[in-house]
Amino acid sequence: MRKLLLATNNAGKVREYRLLLKGSPFEIVTPAEQGLALEVDETADTYEQNASLKAVAFAEAGGMLALADDSGLEVDALGGAPGPRAARFAGEGADDRQRVALLLSKVEGVPWEKRTARFVCVIALAAPGERPCLFRGECEGYISLEPHGRGGFGYDPVFYLPVFCRTMAELSMEEKNRVSHRAAAAREMLRALSAGAVG
């Protein structure tokens, strides 16, 4: 079975991708499992560029097909911020709780109907020496008034999904993987793989 390297050290992403790619024609491996200690700075201004930087670097370092993603949260009341800089929104070294607290402070007083937001994920799939293929997924919701739920990671506790009447962090992994931005991008990638368009 061909190996697919997940170009991330984020344990939450690894868990999600192992489920999302279950049944795919790949053995899913992580950098740690392959003895790779690689950090790629996400210096670009777009999801596509950041995902591509990581996928290409890991594909070359690992000598195998690599999957990287870049994701972010776009809040309409903040002009689309934090966007691709969502992980760095509260500065270097900040944790998820600090990022969520900063976000809530910035939308304090914004009425519910204007708290619209979306999660965006772009997956880059790259083979050594080749240009990456890109796949995009989005998930629409609202920024809740306060955090709810213990699941997921990142901004999940304040991303409210009207279809479930719950935040992303209150969903089971199975529910999240039906509607999330990462799941949508992964479905696009798997469709392309099964059609022989990539890989």
Q: Which sequence positions are flagged as catalytic?
A: 70
Contact 4, 22 (CB under 8 A): no
Query: In this structure, what token pair is assigned to residue 132?
Result: 């990456």
The kind and range of the H/E element at 16 are helix 11-20
Contact 114, 77 (CB under 8 A): yes
> In 65-113, which residue ranges form alpha helices assigned H by DSSP?
96-106
Choose among 4, 12, 1: nearest CA to 133.
4
Half-sphere exposure in the Cβ direction for 24 (13 Å, CA): 25
